[in-house]
Amino acid sequence: MRQIVLDTETTGLEVALGHKIIEIGAIEMIDRKFTGRHFHKYLNPEREIDDGAKEVHGITEAFLADKPKFADIWEELERFLDGAELIIHNAVFDISFLDSEIRALVRQGLAPQRKIEDFCGVIDSLAIARQKHPGQKLNLDALCRRYAVDNSQRQLHGALLDAEILADVYLLMTGGQTNLFGGGNNANDDPAGHNDNQIDQSWEIPPLKQIMASVDDLASHEKMLDLLAERSDNGPVWRREH
């Protein structure tokens, strides 16, 4: 399965007010493994950026002045996304902006009439998080804390960095590889006793390989226990408990 983890930064929050995309970052995975392929562009929106948005991502009009417009990169982006399943945190937001940019191209005669969901599937990781952790804070920083994902480089929002972080969060949230043996308490357990990092059994996970101790291994183990017995008052715990 080909999946693309995608994030955007914009000039403001409301697409209905004419706000536009100024950065797109996307990471490719096939069968839940990173391929090394990615898409990343800064875009000139040809309009001002809200002060509140600048505080979030730190991107200025001056920085974007010489960057391409959405029309310049659309064909490349379309080829990268075509047929993939998109993973987006709060997908409604990003999809609404992408569809708005496409509609603008259609009006200019630069693209056929279509929407993102006409050629891509969409998974909203925020909706998944709400199902798993109802009533909890579920922004990307909060999920990084919950799943122990390093986001120390995220001083400001950035589309490519956020896509990389979201990819790690999504894989843990949907596959869970942190509680390999199960059955015990975990620092990420919620107060009700549900372990957030339990393995999702719907995924096909190979059984653990068992490696038995050889005769030489057992002999070496006994020698070590003898040494511990000589050097301690109470003897090795292993022999007291077994």
Q: Which CATH number is 2-174's, of 1.10.10.10, 3.90.1150.10, 3.30.420.10, 1.10.1040.50?
A: 3.30.420.10
The secondary structure of 129-188 as a DSSP string is: HHHHSTTS--SHHHHHHHHT---TT-SS--HHHHHHHHHHHHHHHHT--S-SS-SS--TT
Of the residues 40, 133, 157, 242, only one is catalytic, namely 157
Length of the chain: 242
pLDDT at 142: 93
Whole-model pTM over 0.85 = no
Give the helix/strand (H/E) hosting 219.
helix 215-231
C-beta of residue 121 within 8 angstroms of C-beta of residue 201: no
| Known catalytic residue at 40 | no
Which string of b and e fits 9-33 if b means at least 16 CB within 10 Å?
Answer: bbbbeebeeebbbbbbbbbbbeeee
N-to-C CA span, the chain:
48
Eight-class DSSP state of 90? T
pLDDT at 171: 96
pLDDT at 108: 95
pLDDT at 13: 92
Counting as low any pLDDT under 70, the low residues of the chain are 155-156, 176-212, 232-234, 236-242
